[in-house]
Amino acid sequence: MKSLKRFFVWCFLFITVFFGIPSAFAVSVDMTKWDTYQNQTGGFSIQSPLDWEPLVNQATTYKQGEFRSRTDVCFASRLRQGMSCKVEIYVTNQLDRFLKLKEDSFLGFERLTTDEEPYSPAIKDGTATSRLDVITRSGTFVSNIFVEKDGFVYLFVMRNFNQDELDYATFLSMIKTFMFLDDPLRDVADLSPTFQRLVSMRPDQLQFAQIKLTYLGEQDKMIRTTIFTTPDNSADANKFFPYRRSGIFYGNDNIPVRSLAVSTQQIKSLLTELESFPYLVSQNAFDPPYLSFSILNEGDDTDQFLETILNRRQTKDLFVLLRKTFEENKDAGKFFQGWGCALDLLGTKLALDVSEKIEVKPWGGVRFNQTTGLFEQTVTLKNISSERIPGPISLLVDFVNHVKLSNADGLTCRLTPNGLNFLNVPLPSGRLGFFNPDELLEVVLQFDAIEDGPVQFTTKVFATDGER
């Protein structure tokens, strides 16, 4: 079997490398409507089609690999929902590790080419690139083009590069536009003394910290400002007033703000994550203004304040970071689902419909909980398939008689049907664990009122870490 596999691999290599790939250069690629993407953490810029959305730290090909990237970017199509990354870029400073891992294989995958080879195109400054193609354990062909510079590796990746000549030609054209920034791979903490002081604080020194998100983009109605603070503090947008910049419209701060409670440890974790976010520069502003992201920490002696004005693309990067940091906070997770939907910040990768693999049954009747003042209905979920289903697991609930779910984790936005309540079902092994065959899970639906007659509802079940 192994020899047969190698036979087909070498057949593919011969046909694709010597006949198929050169045809990519004959495909016409229209670059007139391309956009320029900059990644300050990775210290590079690259052009890409307008409908290829850059998603920071969402590349998947080498996510579980043996080398660690400083940053990665997935370029995913906005026109075909649910598809995986079209092009990925990884930046790592583990050069020795990278070189070792490509001696016999390539980052754990079987090579299609016996050795790396110089490859065209070179990047924009003329630096030569090298290429190594591999086949994954699932049989996916992956083209890897990379360049080494100043102890860093910049790796360009395209999966299934043999399937679409236009996509592959676009991939090669993107690489030609790749440029190193003048000040690459800089440490953002060095650029902002205020942030440096904030990130050095202990959790108990952040008891009166407030983190404010103010929308600055185009709008036809008011969009509430959101403030994250601790349960011991009160969200107060007025305390940010003395720090307002001229020329920036903070009108959304003038209506009642949305307050979300987070722990001091969660604020500390956020500050740690923000060390890799390249836009926290005092008095920095990126055009066109889309979001004001500010941090105010009241101290005994002096207050620490930091604000950066982000454009839409940078706001998407921040959204990914914030949602990851607060993923265990149910209220924050519900907010990010709604906020991300309203501002179109959610990614393009969709959760998978696994309803046919999951048996959903009500267990017992509706009961009233005297402590919470809510009605409750227990529901069981059983994996009736032979597959391990990756989490998170979400139960979509559509009530027939207009009952409103009180403990929902959000409303569907990317999925169909749109606007349905969903509830994330706890997994014994954690939210990113697996729902095993014959395993039985339980979740409680809560609602504040019921009409005459039985409570009736239909359900769907979605899985994986794609968007809801």
Q: Are strands 304-310 and 284-285 parallel, antiparallel or unpaired?
A: parallel
pLDDT tens profile 190-226: 446 788 889 889 999 999 999 999 999 999 999 999 9
Residue 404 maps to a domain: yes
Number of domains in the chain: 3
The C-alpha angle with vertex 317 and arms to 106 and 94, in degrees rounded to 5, equals: 30
Shared domain check, 278 and 195: yes
pLDDT tens profile 310-351: 988 889 989 999 999 999 999 999 999 999 999 999 988 899
Residue 468 maps to a domain: no
Percent of the chain predicted with pLDDT > 70: 83
Answer with the one of 158, 180, 202 that is the final residue of a domain: 180
Taking alpha carbons only, the member of 37, 43, 337 closest to residue 174 is 37
The whole domain housing 247 covers 188-342
Residue 260 predicted with pLDDT over 70:
yes
pLDDT tens profile 272-305: 888 878 777 555 666 688 999 999 999 877 899 9
Give the total residue count for the chain.
Answer: 468
Shared domain check, 236 and 204: yes
Shared domain check, 261 and 152: no
Residue 113 maps to a domain: yes
> Which structure tokens are listed for 131?
């290429």
AA letter at 184: P
pLDDT, residue 82, reads 52
At residue 116 the predicted structure's pLDDT band, cuts being 50, 70 and 90, is low
User: In this structure, what CATH number is given to the domain that contains residue 452?
Assistant: 2.60.40
Shared domain check, 192 and 326: yes
Shared domain check, 27 and 162: yes
Residue 229 maps to a domain: yes
Residue 78 maps to a domain: yes
Answer with the one of 288, 314, 342 that is the final residue of a domain: 342
| Residues paired with residue 420 on neighbouring β-strands, in sequence order | none
Cβ partners under 8 Å of residue 274, min gap 6? 188, 195, 199, 280, 321
Rounded to whole angstroms, the Cα distance separating 216 from 307 reads 13
Rounded to whole angstroms, the Cα distance separating 126 from 128 reads 6
Shared domain check, 379 and 440: yes
Shared domain check, 368 and 265: no
Between 118-132, 208-222, 261-275, 360-374, the lowest mean confidence (pLDDT) is in 118-132
Rounded to whole angstroms, the Cα distance separating 169 from 154 reads 19
Rounded to whole angstroms, the Cα distance separating 367 from 359 reads 22
User: In this structure, what CATH number is given to the domain that contains residue 127?
Assistant: 3.40.1000
Answer with the one of 323, 342, 361 that is the final residue of a domain: 342
Phi, psi dihedral angles at 236 (to 5 degrees): -145, 100
Residue 130 predicted with pLDDT over 50:
yes
Residue 347 maps to a domain: no
pLDDT tens profile 117-128: 666 667 877 777
pLDDT, residue 348, reads 85
Rounded to whole angstroms, the Cα distance separating 67 from 107 reads 7
Shared domain check, 169 and 193: no
Q: What is the dihedral of CA 61, 65, 71, 75, to 10 degrees?
A: 0
Between 119-123, 153-157, 324-328, 457-461, the lowest mean confidence (pLDDT) is in 119-123
**Between 58 and 322, residue with greater pLDDT:** 322
Shared domain check, 276 and 251: yes
Residue 288 maps to a domain: yes
Residue 40 predicted with pLDDT over 80:
no
Shared domain check, 150 and 12: yes
Q: For the chain, what is the largest distance between any 2 Cα atoms, rounded to a whole number of angstroms?
A: 74
> Which structure tokens are listed for 219?
């709008």
Residue 82 maps to a domain: yes
Mean pLDDT over the full length of the chain: 83
Shared domain check, 194 and 324: yes
Shared domain check, 172 and 42: yes
Q: Are strands 457-463 and 358-369 parallel, antiparallel or unpaired?
A: unpaired
